[in-house]
Structure 1
Amino acid sequence: MTADTTSFDYVIVGGGTAGLVVAARLSENPDYRVLVLEAGVDNSADPRVHIPALYSALAYTDADWGFSTEPQPGLNGRQIPVNQGKALGGSSSINARVFVPPTKTLVDAWETLGNQGWTWDALRPYLARAYTSPEVDKSLEKAMGIGEWTSRENDTPRGPIQTSFPGSASHPIREAWAETFKMNGLAMAHDPFLESSVGGFSCLASIDPATKERSNATTAYYHPNKNRENLCVLTSARVMKIDFDMALPPAPIRATAVQYEQDGELRTVAVAKEVILAAGAFQSPKVLELSGIGDAQLLAQHGIDVVQDLPGVGENLQDHVVSSISYRARDDLETLDALARQEPDAIGQAMQQYTSNRSGPLTSVGVYTYAYLSLPAQDQQQLRELLGSNPPPDESSSSSSSSGSQPPLARALHDIGEKMLLDPQTPSGAYLSIMSQAPRPDVPNSGYPADPAVPGKFFTIAAMLSHPFSRGSVHIQSRDPLVDPAIDPRYLSHPLDEEVLARHMLHIETIATSPPLARLLQQPLARRDPASHLAADLDAAKRYLRAKSTSMWHPAGSCAMMPRALGGVVDARLRVYGVSNLRVVDSSAIPLISTANLQATVYAFAERAADLIKETW
């Protein structure tokens, strides 16, 4: 469809991970005219996008919004970079491609919050619809760390996203990782996409096994369908606001048009059926507030007329906070440290391998294995006591809780969090291995210095907090659409978060010293950062977290799917409360953050959102 069409059935705000999924599925019906407005460009031909190991070079480029948080008291006042994709495909074009599922307990908790029908059993078919599970030769299964799986998918998923077990099939980390967790009774018994709980496993990546290139929303959902006559995607089109018909009650409020800027001109496109917000956890609440939907007091401060008073817009922000420890590896272990140091000879050799036969270190980012773990039994009683000493506020209280939530929601989140934290079959932390040290570049306004790569080979284990109790916010700072929102995740603001993650950091040492994984590391263990020698000291772990933790770039929840009484923004069919034809379909609508990396969950969420929209029309 030509770009000069002035009216569409569906206008999708944001051509990122969720937006392109919904656009592809809605445009399957030739009677639906679908427009996607994306602020970035299609950069899928950029080698930094399609070559796996080069992804980090996209940070702070035109492909990245380059956001940073407000100073975080729980992290020594540091401002944390929260990179988000500003390109067709959104963050699926700049992320590290880790493709792991949520857990059943987590998704079932979405329904517990009042979202009827949002369960693992309902979501899992949409996970299967989104990706193709890689085939593995039987003779390689043990080396790949999946030889103990009693079952994989009976009917191999054949969705658009192509996945693989990244890197060399012969790399020893996978088998060593699997055997280490097996010896501790924590082997993942089957493909985690069937129904994951706790245990270690080899993880997938959204890397095409044939081409060894990134598989993302652009290549998988848009490019195969871009010639559809009823689908139009406009890039470099930045949405300013949504217009509404404010008919007098009982007629519902209705979205009528979307204003966007392109090529220096302000343009307007009319909407026949629905406006679909897919601008991400930082931008979807911003678009709502600029359009007059949000907390009436905040809108009044910025001189914005109120269309719908929804105080939950921009609240309930969650993110995974992560910290890591790097150990010196054996000299004969294959790592990516030479690339991390940007050694010219190593880069040249790697590029030659990649271009000639799609092999070598550029085919992955070095993340081969994962683990979903609950805390050891000895921690459970202490955590139970901490839960008792940090109850949610009474519902008669008008103040926010230490989690950042209002009392009714804080009670609901406390009850769910308690169940997840104390259930030995529900992970409270996610661990990943990285076949390299994790240097830190110089990040503007971060409050902490660069940590350049050093000589030697390293193996890194990182731990992230799967289910944070802390809740933050993201809100406009001006009625000017070009001004960045204020992002305040309030990392570790709830006392339990620091306690839980500190204990997971101490457990990293248990993993690193367990055979056979320990045989891949220099002995005695040598750490890249002396401060990471925590020596079973909980207070030292907490100090390390405050000084070193950062974001995993997994923001969610800021336009939460929850009952309006709990501060929800959209209902269980993802419709914005009080507006008849406006939905949110991205991670901002996910009420509780995924167990680990969000990518697979967002694809499944958007796939289901497309079906909900189709059912309506």
Structure 2
Amino acid sequence: MQKRYDYIVIGAGSAGCAVANRLSENGRYTVALLEAGNRDLNPWIHVPVGYFKTMGNPATDWCYKTKACAGLNGRSIPWPRGKVLGGSSSINGLLYVRGQAQDFDDWANLGNEGWQWDQVLPYFKRSEDWQGKTSDLRGEGGPLTVSETRVSRPVIDAWLDAAQNCGYPANEDYNGVDQEGVGLYQLTAKKGRRCSSAVAYLNPARGRANLTIITRACVEKLILEGQRVTGVQLANQQLHANKEVILSAGAIGSPQLLMVSGIGSSEELNPHKIAIVKELPGVGQNLQDHLQARPIFKCASSTINTEISSWFKQGLIGLEYLLKRTGPMTMAASLGTGFLKTHLSPERPDIQFHIQPFSADSPAEGPHKFDAFTASVLQMRPGSAGHLSLVSDRFSDHPDIHPNYLATKLDQQTIVAGIKIARDISKQAPLNGLVTEEYSPGSSVGDDDDDSILNWARSTATTIYHPTGTCKMGQDDMAVVDAQLKVHGIEGLRVADASIMPIITSGNTNAPAIMIGEKVAAMILEESVNV
């Protein structure tokens, strides 16, 4: 195995796969892509509904868990993160959401030149092979297939109609001109199979002589000479970079690796006797995530709950998928969506719905025995932010995750407003003709009792798997990387993944993470030509 490469990319997730593909594309540079997990050979990875089998599975998931959170009434909750080629794009719900144009303009307004909407849009388009209606705002011919949903259910159609009867507009492309409105989700899938970042970016690049993909390669530390990163330390060998190391290990892995390598705050490093190479107090801070509350409504309409209630029914569904690549097994984590404004945000949508034709008290227990749908709702731009803390100087020891959910009054008011909107839509025609009972929160939680609604959310809400922000981009004292994603005060090192987001994007984070990978690769290549 070659021990020296021009570029070393740590982490083969949503961003890392894009970086490795683009840096090796012209054949001029040698690139090593390191992934702590295995190859994406598990067949459930490639079946859209396979996330039920891959989340919580230590063969494909880091299986993180938060510390007890006061905002969740003292609960600790699982935080799945992909540990396999493709990273979380191999185990997520396949939903493709760019976010709002204002998200990226806000990043630029914080001093991050080059990150405003009109400057990131070309990288979204470059990544996409959009299978829907042609638009100047959508990409065609890119590596990542983005398609419209292939599954429908009457209760989802009824929810969309009821939302419009509540006054919310229809929107056939929330990734187009305007995000606001209700419609069906777009997903990273091609002909009934998942299109992960690994499928999109690595499969076409595997034959390149200048790209080396190494799995089961967990980086223990960065190698530094003074304040320059020159390589990485694996369990039994070192790899060296002629030019740069690009850290794409995600919102938990990237800051943890920086800290165990001596880049972080003395408050975090000193207790573990880690020599400080660069004092950067923002490493592991600014942790943001989307918290979902999950109202559930029993209904008189067929849902996945009863459609898979016997081995015979499951067999028929499996046979349809094998023969046609259609049916429930092609379903993403949600079908219907709404990007809506509450009274707290009249200028732009602040809540997002994930409407699912199934329900469960917990994934481990499986779906309910009765027909029901879930109207999951989240606040898109929470003000609450948490942090990570080291437990040792070893990367193999998971850090403590403090999500700090629902810590601000606005966050509390917004989640309550979202739950009320879910209830209002359920009472509108034609959905009210299908809903037989509100299962959860239920009639014991009054619609005029905000404290009880909030307490229900604290007791039941969970992550929707979007941790971001822990190596934030900016120029302030808590920033970790600059607008070129170079780590402040450290040479030869960039971070490129969702951890660099100074503010979480309005919606699911896989698409922005891939865009970040595309953009940083372009910046690196442009800089290498000018050197």
Identity, % of aligned positions: 32
Residue 157 of structure 1 deviates from its aligned partner by 2.4
Distance 1:275 1:236 in 2: 18
Measured after TM superposition, the shift of residue 175 of structure 1 is 4.5
CA-atom RMSD in angstroms: 1.9
Q: 1:178 to 1:152 in 2, by over 3 A?
A: farther
Q: Which aligned pairs between 1:505-520 and structure 2 lie closer than 5 A?
A: 505-519=419-433
Structure 2 partner of 1:323: 293
Structure 1 residues 435 and 189, CA gap change in structure 2 (3 angstroms):
closer
Distance apart, 1:483 and its partner CA: 0.7
- Contact 1:39/1:238 (<8 A) preserved: yes
Partner of 2:471: 559
Query: Residues of 2 paired with 1:152 and 1:190: CA distance?
Result: 12
Choose the corresponding residue for 2:504, options 568, 593, 598.
593
User: Structure 1 stretches of 5 or more lacking a match?
Assistant: 137-150, 247-252, 381-421, 443-450
Q: Distance in 1 between matches of 2:98 and 2:155?
A: 21
Instruction: Give the direction of change, closer, same or farther, for the CA distance of 1:100–1:595 in structure 2 (3 Å limit).
Output: same
CA separation of 1:113/1:531 partners in 2, compared to 1, >3 Å: closer, same or farther? farther
TM-superposed CA distance for 1:339, in Å, is 6.2
Matched with 2:315 is: 348
Whether the 8 Å contact between 1:340 and 1:437 is mirrored in structure 2 is no
- 1:113 offset after TM fit, Å? 1.7
Q: d(CA) in 2 for partners of 1:30 and 1:534?
A: 63
Per the normalisation by structure 2, the TM-score is 0.95
Name the amino acid aligned to 1:255: V
**Corresponding residue of 2:490:** 579
Mean alpha-carbon deviation: is it higher for 487-496 or for 318-327? Answer: 487-496
1:196 equivalenced with 2:196 (yes/no): no
Matched, 1:463 2:377: yes
Letter in 2 for 1:469: G
User: CA, structure 1 residues 189+465, in 2 after alignment: closer, same or farther (shift >3 Å)?
Assistant: closer
Classify 1:228/1:532 alpha carbon distance in 2 versus 1 (closer, same or farther; 3 Å): farther
Q: Distance in 2 between matches of 1:217 and 1:111?
A: 26
Counterparts of 1:411-430 in structure 2, within 5 Å, are 422=345, 424-430=346-352
Residue deviations 1:438-468 (CA, integer Å, cap 9, x gap): 33045xxxxxxxx653322111101011111
Counterpart residue number, 2:439: 527
Say whether residues 1:336 and 2:304 are aligned partners: yes
In the alignment, what sits opposite 1:313? 283
2:269 is aligned with 1:302: no
CA 1:157–1:184 in 2, change beyond 3 Å: closer, same or farther?
Answer: farther
CA distance in 1, matches of 2:367, 2:444: 16
Structure 2: how far apart are the matches of 1:155 and 1:193? 8
- Given that 2:18 and 2:517 are in contact with CA atoms closer than 8 Å, whether structure 1 keeps it comes out as yes
The letter of the residue matching 1:68 is K
Equivalent residues in 2 for 1:394-409 (5 A)? none
Would the alpha carbon gap of residues 455 and 16 (structure 1) be closer, same or farther in structure 2, given more than 3 Å must change? same
Partner of residue 46, structure 1:
42
Kindly report which structure 2 residues correspond to 1:283-298, keeping only aligned pairs within 5 A, or say none: 283-298=253-268
Cα pair 2:292 2:463 within 8 Å, conserved: yes
1:33–1:84: structure 2 CA closer, same or farther, 3 Å change rule?
A: same
What SS is found at the alignment partner of 2:194? coil
Q: Name the CA distance, whole Å, in 2 between partners of 1:500 and 1:518.
A: 24
Measure, in 1, the Cα distance between the counterparts of 2:347 and 2:444: 28
- Cα deviation per residue 1:560-611 (whole Å; 9 max; x = unaligned)? 001133x100001100000121000000011111111111111112111111
Shift in CA distance, 338/177, structure 1 to aligned 2, threshold 3 Å: closer
Q: Give, in whole Å, the separation in 1 of the partners of 2:388 and 2:329.
A: 36
Q: Structure 2: how far apart are the matches of 1:551 and 1:174?
A: 23
Correspondence for 1:360: 327
Which SS does the other structure have where 1:283 is aligned? helix
Mark the CA change 1:290 to 1:156 in structure 2 (over 3 Å): closer, same or farther: closer
Q: Distance in 1 between matches of 2:161 and 2:101?
A: 24
Contact 2:171 2:180 in 1 (8 A): no
Amino acid at match of 1:295: S
Matched residues, number: 527
Are residue 537 (structure 1) and residue 449 (structure 2) matched?
yes
What is the TM-score normalised by the length of structure 1? 0.82
Q: Contact between 2:159 and 2:425, CA under 8 Å: does it hold in 1? A: no
Q: Distance in 2 between matches of 1:239 and 1:366?
A: 31
**Contact 2:11 2:34 (C-alpha < 8 Å) held by counterparts:** yes
Q: Kindly state the Cα deviation for residue 177 of structure 1 after the two structures are TM-superposed.
A: 4.3
Aligned residue runs from structure 1 range 106-255, under 5 A: 106-135=103-132, 152-153=135-136, 157-168=140-151, 171-173=153-155, 175-189=157-171, 191-208=173-190, 210=191, 212-246=192-226, 253-255=227-229
Is the 8 Å Cα contact of residues 167 and 368 (structure 1) preserved in structure 2? no
